[in-house]
């Protein structure tokens, strides 16, 4: 498991294996996340909107379900009247 050393200035070099794995290049931004018992280095995407596209799977339309249910109820009501 690769390790890193904190310099006098607080700098930490991300090991090459992780720079390659996460495609980090000089100038890329990362976020430092404090989990209370540990720190994580999270790469930030260049365009967060594009990076999040498709994150949430499209859900079935509730409107279509409600309309179908209402049509079914209407048919039942009409058949009772006749």
Question: How many domains in the chain?
Answer: 1
CA–CA distances in Å: residue 14 to residues 3, 30, 53: 8, 11, 28
pLDDT digits (tens, 9 = 90+) for 35-70: 999 999 999 888 888 878 777 777 777 888 899 999
The answer to whether residue 3 is domain-embedded is no
The pTM of the full predicted model, rounded to 2 decimals, is 0.55
41: buried, middle or exposed (CB in 10 Å: 19+, 13-18, 0-12)? Answer: middle
What is the biggest distance separating any 2 CA atoms in the chain, rounded to whole angstroms? 88
- 1 within a domain of the structure (yes/no): no
CB atoms within 10 A of CB 64: 9
The domain containing residue 28 runs over which residues? 16-81
Instruction: Examine residue 54 and state whether it is found in any structural domain, yes or no.
Output: yes
Residue 68 lies in a domain: yes
CB distance 40 to 32 below 8 Å: yes
Q: What is the mean pLDDT of residues 8-12?
A: 95
Task: Name the residue among 2, 81, 82 with its Cα closest to residue 41.
Answer: 2
Question: Is 62 a domain residue?
Answer: yes
Give a yes or no: residue 8 inside a domain. no
In a domain, 4, yes or no: no
Q: Does 75 fall in a domain? A: yes
């Amino acid at each position: 498991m690769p390790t890193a050393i904190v310099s006098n200035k607080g700098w930490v070099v991300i090991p090459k294996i992780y720079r390659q794995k996460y495609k980090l290049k000089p100038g890329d931004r990362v976020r430092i996340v404090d989990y209370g018992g540990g720190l994580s280095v999270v790469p930030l995407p260049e365009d967060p909107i594009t990076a999040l596209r498709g994150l949430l799977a499209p859900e079935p339309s509730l409107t279509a379900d409600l309309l179908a249910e209402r049509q079914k109820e209407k048919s039942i009501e009409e058949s009772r009247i006749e």
